[in-house]
Amino acid sequence: MNTPHLILSIQRELGGTATPAAAQLALDAVLHALRTALLEDGIVKISRFGTFRRKEVRSRRLCHPHTGEVIQLPARSVIRFIPSPFLTASLSQHRV
């Protein structure tokens, strides 16, 4: 699913009364809130969905597989997602 599909889904969930612009604003507001919370607190817990957690990854050295050159990767922040048991169970029930 991509952004246009999310916007259509938001419109449908709101009963079709929302315009595409309003659905876009709603999506932007949620994403902004997630981004801000991850930057400030480092964690976002959404009940019955899961937990987003910012994790600091230390710098490390890698060896380029073709040239053998040693490459230093800088330290960085990554986002980890842990699904809730409810989400995991609901996805397990709807296998294709």
Q: How many CB atoms within 10 Å of residue 17? A: 7
Report pLDDT for 15.
Answer: 85
pTM: 0.77
Per-residue model confidence as pLDDT tens for the chain (96 residues): 999 999 999 999 988 788 999 999 999 999 999 999 999 999 999 999 999 999 999 999 999 999 999 999 999 999 999 999 999 999 888 765
Query: Which residue's structure tokens are 């169970």?
Result: 89
Q: Amino acid identity of 55?
A: K
Rounded Cα gap, residues 48 and 86, in angstroms: 5
